[in-house]
């Protein structure tokens, strides 16, 4: 990589890398602005209703493909029925750079990163009391890594293994600007967000509170084979 200096990079599990401070403050501000726009529609940011009837505490809006438990579609049947907004090219490009950054110690994985082409983004907003239970990201039909970008308040991110929801796991603090990539043997690892730390964001960020998380994914889906 042509980085000016080496960012600290922590391997959390095989295929899972945490890069603190990857996004600059101006870069974070730009993403926060973009998230505001996406949250406004055409598909509104909403609480997802789970099959058991309860609603997630996190609010979510999608780009590229709309996710609801447990499938992707091009239209938001559970949120007004409109077509989901496209995933902008610059965001896919950012995802490519993220995978390259995470793989900087691993030339083979780094070469594969050049072909990384995410077509789904989930944008999650956490207020002070929101959290996300342990789950796998497994509705994609691709083994390509998931890229996670954090903005706003810090959180506790719990990262386990693909084998069990119950652990063992590693607890990581994700702060604004942090990158987390999980792929390879960790692609289907259980993970969740048990806690957000209110008031920890830089006031310069332009968020009045809460945490945003953007995950970029490769759906592996084609329009003709929607599921
Ligand atoms: O908010 C996070 O850091 C994780 C989000 C997540 O796991 C998901 O959207 O599937
Ligand atoms: Fe997830």
- pLDDT 10s digits, 108-136: 777 778 899 999 999 999 999 999 999 99
Ligand 1: nearest atom to the Cα of 213: 1
60 is written with which tokens? 């979510």
Is residue 3 in some structural domain? no
Calpha distance 126→75 (Å, rounded): 24
Q: Which residue has the higher pLDDT, 105 or 159?
A: 159
Supply the residue whose CA is at minimum distance from atom 2 of ligand 1. Answer: 213
pLDDT in tens, 67-92: 999 999 999 999 999 999 999 999 99
pLDDT above 60 for 226: no
* Cα(192) to centroid(ligand 1), Å: 7
List the residue whose alpha carbon is closest to atom 3 of ligand 1: 213
Residue 4 lies in a domain: no
Closest residue (by CA) to atom 8 of ligand 1? 215
Spell out the alpha helix ranges (H) of 47-158.
89-102, 107-113
* Domain containing residue 74: 10-221
Q: What are 164-207's pLDDT values in tens digits?
A: 999 899 999 999 999 999 999 999 999 999 999 999 999 999 99
Q: Binding residue per annotation — 18?
A: no
Q: Is residue 227 one of the residues assigned to a domain?
A: no
pLDDT of residue 1: 41
Tell whether omega for the bond before 70 is within 30 degrees of 0, i.e. cis. Answer: yes
Position 5 in a domain: no
Total domains in the fold of the chain? 1
Backbone angles phi, psi at 154, to 5 degrees: -70, 160
Peptide bond preceding 128: is omega within 30 degrees of 0, i.e. cis?
A: no
At 101, which CATH number?
A: 2.60.120.590
In a domain, 107, yes or no: yes
pLDDT computed for residue 2 by the predictor: 44
What tokens were used for 153? Answer: 């308040």
- Mean pLDDT estimate for the chain: 94
Reported ipTM: the value is 0.99
In a domain, 2, yes or no: no
CA 1–ligand 2 middle distance (angstroms): 28
């Amino acid at each position: 990589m042509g980085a000016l200096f080496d960012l600290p990079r922590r391997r959390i599990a095989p295929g899972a890398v945490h890069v603190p401070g990857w996004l600059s403050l101006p870069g974070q501000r730009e993403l926060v602005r973009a998230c505001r726009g996406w949250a406004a529609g055409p598909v509104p940011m909403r609480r997802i209703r789970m099959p058991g009837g309860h609603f997630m505490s996190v609010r979510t809006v999608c780009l590229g493909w709309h996710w609801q438990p447990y499938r992707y579609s091009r239209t938001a049947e559970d949120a007004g029925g409109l077509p989901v907004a496209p995933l902008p090219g610059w965001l896919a490009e950012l995802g490519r750079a993220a995978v390259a950054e995470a793989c900087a110690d691993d030339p083979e994985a780094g070469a594969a990163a050049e072909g990384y082409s995410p077509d789904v983004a989930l944008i999650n907003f956490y207020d002070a009391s929101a959290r996300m239970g342990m789950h796998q990201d497994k509705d994609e039909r691709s083994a390509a890594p998931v890229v996670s970008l954090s903005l706003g308040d810090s959180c506790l991110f719990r990262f386990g293994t693909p084998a069990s929801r119950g652990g063992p796991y590693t607890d990581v603090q994700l702060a604004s600007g942090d990158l987390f990539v999980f792929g390879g043997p960790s692609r289907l690892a259980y993970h969740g967000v048990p806690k957000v730390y209110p008031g920890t964001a830089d006031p310069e960020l332009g968020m009045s509170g809460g945490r945003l998380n953007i995950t970029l994914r490769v759906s592996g889906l084609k329009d003709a084979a929607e599921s």
